[in-house]
Amino acid sequence: MAVPTGQGEPEPMRTIRFKISRFKPGRIDPSRFETFVLAVNENMTVLDCLEQIRLVQDPTLVYRHSCHHSACGTCACIINGTERLACLTRVWALATTTVTLAPLRGFARIADLAVDMTGFYREIEAEWEVLRTAEPLAGAADSGGALRLENCIECGACVSVCPAVQAHPPFMGPAALAALHNQMQKTTAEQRPALLARAAVPHGEPMCERALACSRVCPTGVYPARHIADLRRLRLG
Ligand code: SF4
Ligand code: FES
């Protein structure tokens, strides 16, 4: 398919089917997949397509996003079975005519593709030096002085893909263990044993199944599995 641009050559388009997992507590419950068809050009990301579908086809579609450039982490979801950032994933690069979208696993679902990230922060302490106050958002009345991890965009992809998180809900999780290990590098020698003891609790590093999936899906090169392996070496002496 080609769409005239009014400036010479028509823009090449592909017809893509988006199978999106829908859920609205009490209304679309249990969840089900709904299909939307969209003409997509080679530059459009999955997030662009979600915005088009919401704008033109279904204003009730719920998903999270903010920055559009892989900095905020909010748009992570499961795209064709793999945890990815919707704003970083070009649809043509998926090389398929059907794109399946589902919410991250391991988090309570709010609606459609949006999940509640509260649990992500359960094991991360506000006073850790790996946290930084976020830059004020352009145009935002109040950025709220939110704290952000310095080298992790808090997307939750590593938590979603982790088999230990699926099997044992209280697992501390790859991102929290990576943050804890980073915090150990920043703190004094006297404080390190307490942090290591915290990582060594049964629902901490010992629960890791060494699947390495967290490092494979991480969009920012945190490599949580490497941090967990370092914690294991420290624990075992
Ligand atoms: S460690 Fe990577 S995958 Fe996990 S939350 Fe941080 S950025 Fe996302
Ligand atoms: S919208 Fe911010 S990371 Fe995708």
Q: Find out whether the beta carbon of 74 lies less than 6 Å from any atom of ligand 2.
A: yes
Q: Find out whether the beta carbon of 79 lies less than 6 Å from any atom of ligand 2.
A: no
The pLDDT score that the predictor gives to residue 89 is 98
Q: Find out whether the beta carbon of 87 lies less than 6 Å from any atom of ligand 2.
A: yes
> How far is C-alpha 19 from the chain's CA centre?
19
Q: Find out whether the beta carbon of 50 lies less than 6 Å from any atom of ligand 1.
A: no
The pLDDT score that the predictor gives to residue 8 is 72
Question: Along the chain (237 residues), what's the average pLDDT of each consecutive run of 10 residues?
Answer: 66 96 97 98 98 98 96 97 98 98 96 96 94 74 76 97 81 96 95 96 95 97 98 95
Closest of 168, 184, 84, 66 to residue 125, by C-alpha? 184
The pLDDT score that the predictor gives to residue 20 is 98
Determine the residue of 64, 74, 90, 137 to mutate for testing ligand 2's pocket, defined as the one with the most ligand atoms within 8 A of the Cβ atom: 74
Determine the residue of 45, 51, 83, 85 to mutate for testing ligand 2's pocket, defined as the one with the most ligand atoms within 8 A of the Cβ atom: 85
The pLDDT score that the predictor gives to residue 146 is 84
- Please name each of the domains of the chain with its CATH number: 6-116 (3.10.20.30), 120-236 (1.10.1060.10)
Task: Tell me the ligand closest to 88's alpha carbon.
Answer: 2
Ligand 1 center to residue 178 CA distance, Å? 9
pTM for the model:
0.92
The pLDDT score that the predictor gives to residue 70 is 96
The pLDDT score that the predictor gives to residue 7 is 65
Question: Which residue is it, tokens 């996003």?
Answer: 65
Q: Find out whether the beta carbon of 156 lies less than 6 Å from any atom of ligand 1.
A: yes
